[in-house]
Homo-oligomer: A and B are copies of this chain.
Amino acid sequence: MGSTSPDSHVDVLIVGAGPAGMMANMHLSELGISHRIIDHRGTRTLNGRADGFHVPTVEIWDSFGIYDRIEKYSERFGQWGLWTFGEDAAAGIYRQHLGSIPGHENLRLPKIGTMHQGMIEAGLGDGVRARGGPVVERGTKPVELTIDESLVNDPTNYPIIMKVHHVLKSELPDAWTGAHSVQEDGTLKPEKGFVEAFGTDPHEIENHVDGTEGTTETIHAKYVIGVDGAHSWVRRQLPDLKMEGENSDQVFGVVDIQPITNFPDIRRTCSLLSHAGFLLLIPRENGLVRLYVQFPEGYKTSDVKDRNNEKATVSDILKAANEILYPYTIGYKYCDWWTIYRVGQRVCNKASHLDRIFLAGDATHAHSPKGGQGMNVSQQDTYNLTWKLAGVLRNQLSPSVLKTYDQERLPIARNLIELDNDMAKVLLARANRDEAEVQRVYKRLSKFSGPISTYKSNLVIGEDGKGARQDAATGLPIGLRFPDTATVYSQADGDPTSTLSLLKSNGLWRVLVFAGHLADKAQLAKVDAMGERLKALQQRYPPASARREDFLEILLFHSSPISAVEFSDFHHTFFPVHETLGRNYFTIYGDSGGVKEADKTTGSHGVYGIGEKKGALIVVRPDQVTAWVGELDDVDQMEEWFASFMIAKDEAKRRDSGREGGTKI
């Protein structure tokens, strides 16, 4: 193993730099947490692999300011074609339905699309760079994991000892793109592949080792995030963590090609079922299309590993695709990427160990590519975890909050497997496939993609009837991602904006004060009278990060036209002043941007089911989830709820000074 470096210490060590790892990297960078990220590979993913963006992932990217990459580079899902077969097998497939993807008819923004995994990792990497976060340490693989359990209960300690090995360059896995062209004589010629992503950083695409080749280093970490894929090394070190479920016989062949075909819907997203099998077709960037072909049962997957047998396996995929597409044909001269793999439908029995090591992404859930959800759920796993880790590390949140990671994310993973089973049943029905059933599962898929994955009440999700009151805002279910359905108008400039887009991912909690009809002076006085108490709450807990003064942002929404009130009407808590920068003008919004009353179908009070007298107080977590709902009069209850899991500044200071004398290095 060569020489060893001196031991080092870090708060969080991320193992794996796929989409889930890079999301953790970006979020921890934003939150100013000391962390490192290692990956055994010598490059980012170059091309191909996971590619599908669903609504919440796009919203999350937007909240980090990197949505423009999806906007500009991804291929959007437009129309959707459903193809099937009839009684006469020899007649082949026919188009059963053409229209919008069910459930995605009325999206405010173009929010679903595809781009190759290299772009996804590069986009997150740009987000890391913009925040001064760490570059991925490539060619660095974990080799030994031990936990000093005696140190686990003191949050200031580094109980995890991880040995990592900076490999020799010659030991790096091959940075394979799979790209090739078909020559006139039928032979395959290797090609570079579409490995670019927003400019091409050689550090990202050329196989290399960061750190000194051949050396081993011991890292002491407070926390470890294991996002090292389906065959997770981290998971295998933890005997209490097991993947459970079926290790099915489903074998998928996947190929990205520039198609030469007479199939008319080649630039539409299509679900096709013929007598010969199931095929999912997704148009891609650079004139590519992706085909997911489900092979017949019993297909031998041993070929998968055999790169020398490349032609046979790619041509297997094309052969199967042609059988399904009959009477149409498909071929190619340029292939960008391909793979063949067997999928199981499995979930890890738990995703954490001693609240110190957390698994996420493919390390905890495995399923078929039918719903295109894997990369999305994986990023959402670490998006959920990282602000909790940061809050505990900053003495802002009680360490018990970490238990909510398993509580929240394991049910999502299980739902995903169920959905996958449901889709399989409906989409693969060998006879009498029911179009209504297909529409139903796609709607279910879209709702899974959208704001349907509700978290149950826990330490950081309030409970209706116990302090929180769901009926104060019937359109903002507690435990659900904040829905991007209302349009509000900035009091400052009249610009329309989505309410969700105000909730940036910067570690801040938010209290949204839905103030009702402020043209009514009594209502205005009532709301302004809340200013002092909300200010005190805002100052009670440690700030979200070193870049922020507060832990809490207060945003006010009223149902009057913005012309009915002026900034000077508001208590300074709602219209805060900064000594150097002047006022913060983007804290107050109205449901109508002009002089007319708001349209109830678009304004926030109408859409979110909030009364104009009783108003509402909504607490949104740093991860855009509605955590607590009450009326304007429920400030007491809201304060109590915060106190149940947050650590006030005084107490936090005491714990911090304890740390000074403790094990800190």
Residues of chain A having any CB pair with chain B under 8 Å? 68, 71-72, 76, 78-79, 98-99, 181, 258-262, 264, 266-268, 283, 287, 332-334, 490, 492-495, 563, 566-568, 579-583, 585, 593-594
Contact = CB atoms under 8 A, between A and B. Distances in A.
- List of 9 A-B pairs having minimum Cβ-Cβ separation, nearest first: A79-B494, A267-B492, A267-B493, A78-B495, A260-B582, A333-B580, A78-B493, A68-B72, A267-B585
12 contacts: A68-B68, A68-B72, A79-B593, A98-B494, A260-B582, A260-B583, A268-B492, A268-B493, A283-B493, A287-B582, A333-B581, A334-B581
Contact of A98 (B259, B266, B563, B585): B563
Nearest to A78: B495
Contacts of A567: 264
A585 B98 CA distance: 18
Contacts of A333: 579-582
B568 A334 contact: no
A537 to B, nearest CB: 26
Contacts of A582: 258-261, 287, 332-333
A495 B76 contact: yes
Contact of A287 (B332, B563, B581): B581
Given A68-B71, A71-B71, 6 more contacts: A76-B495, A98-B563, A260-B582, A267-B585, A333-B579, A333-B581
A412 B583 CA distance: 41
A595 to B, nearest CB: 8
Contacts of A492: 266-268
A346 B3 CA distance: 74
A301 B388 CA distance: 59
A262 B570 CA distance: 13
Contacts of A76: 495
A258 B581 contact: yes
Count chain B CB atoms within 10 A of each CB in A490, A492, A582 and give the residue with the most.
A582
Contacts of A490: 78, 267
**Chain A binding surface SS class:** mixed
A264 B568 contact: yes
A264 B580 CA distance: 18
A615 B160 CA distance: 74
Given A79-B493, A493-B268, A262 B568 contact: yes
A590 to B, nearest CB: 12
A333 B579 CA distance: 8
Contacts of A71: 68, 71
Given A68-B71, A78-B495, A334 B580 contact: yes
Nearest to A181: B580
A267, A268, A283, A563 — most chain B CB neighbours (10 Å): A267
Residue picked from A258, A566, A583, most chain B C-beta under 10 Å: A583
A259 B264 CA distance: 58
Contacts of A267: 490, 492-493, 585
A264 B493 contact: no
A249 B307 CA distance: 77
Most buried by B among A262, A268, A334, A493: A493
Contacts of A72: 68
A100 to B, nearest CB: 9
A495 B581 CA distance: 44
A581 B68 CA distance: 28
Contact of A258 (B98, B181, B334, B580): B580
Nearest to A581: B258
A333 B567 CA distance: 21
A259 B593 CA distance: 23
A224 to B, nearest CB: 32
Contacts of A566: 264
Contacts of A261: 582
A616 B523 CA distance: 61
A268 B494 contact: yes
Contacts of A585: 266-267
Nearest to A80: B494
A398 to B, nearest CB: 36
A110 B40 CA distance: 44
Nearest to A126: B199
A620 to B, nearest CB: 24
A313 to B, nearest CB: 22
Nearest to A585: B267
A287 to B, nearest CB: 6
A341 to B, nearest CB: 26
A287 B579 CA distance: 13
A299 to B, nearest CB: 27
A485 to B, nearest CB: 21
Contacts of A494: 78-79, 98, 268
Contacts of A495: 76, 78-79
Contacts of A493: 78-79, 267-268, 283
A337 B76 CA distance: 41
Which of A283, A492, A585: most chain B CB closer than 10 A?
A492
Contacts of A334: 580-581
Contacts of A259: 582
Contacts of A68: 68, 71-72
Contacts of A283: 493
A127 to B, nearest CB: 13
